[in-house]
């Protein structure tokens, strides 16, 4: 089992940057594939980014591709989401999620139901 705690959210102007962190408990973090999702008020939770448990595969939603970068540091049990060129439509609560040994397929990594563990979320607000 793993517990996830997000941090790094806040208020930023359009065009600015934020780096979100997700710290995981446990000694088996390196075996967990990690995803970032977000949920804006009145909208469903949507996929943002994925990194494989081996770290070799990353995948992004079209809406963030080229602006966001997901990475992981297994020595620190942490996954990051670097967000650049932020837009007001990026405003949402951002959640990290984990699934052990998840194998990459586009349909799988985009599906929130495939992840077993979730953090509590961190608010990102982008002002125009």
Query: What confidence category does residue 102 fall into, taking pLDDT thresholds of 50, 70 and 90?
Result: confident
Mean pLDDT for the stretch of residues 2-25 = 97
CB 60 within 8 A of CB 51: no
Query: What confidence category does residue 62 fall into, taking pLDDT thresholds of 50, 70 and 90?
Result: very high
Query: Got the DSSP string for 79-118?
Result: EEEEE-S--GGG-EEEEEEEEETPPP-HHHHT-GGG--EE
pLDDT at 26: 81
């Amino acid at each position: 089992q793993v517990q996830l705690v997000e941090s790094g959210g806040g208020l930023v102007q359009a065009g600015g940057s934020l780096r979100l962190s997700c710290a995981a408990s446990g000694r088996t973090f390196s075996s967990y594939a990690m995803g970032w999702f977000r949920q804006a008020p009145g909208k469903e939770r949507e996929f943002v980014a994925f990194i494989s448990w081996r770290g070799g595969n990353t995948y992004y939603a079209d809406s963030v591709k080229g602006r966001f970068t997901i990475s992981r540091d297994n020595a620190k049990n942490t996954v990051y989401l670097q967000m650049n060129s932020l837009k007001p439509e990026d405003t949402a609560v951002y959640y990290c999620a984990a699934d052990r040994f998840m194998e990459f397929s586009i349909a799988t990594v985009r599906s929130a139901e495939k992840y077993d563990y979730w953090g509590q979320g961190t608010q990102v607000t982008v002002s125009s």
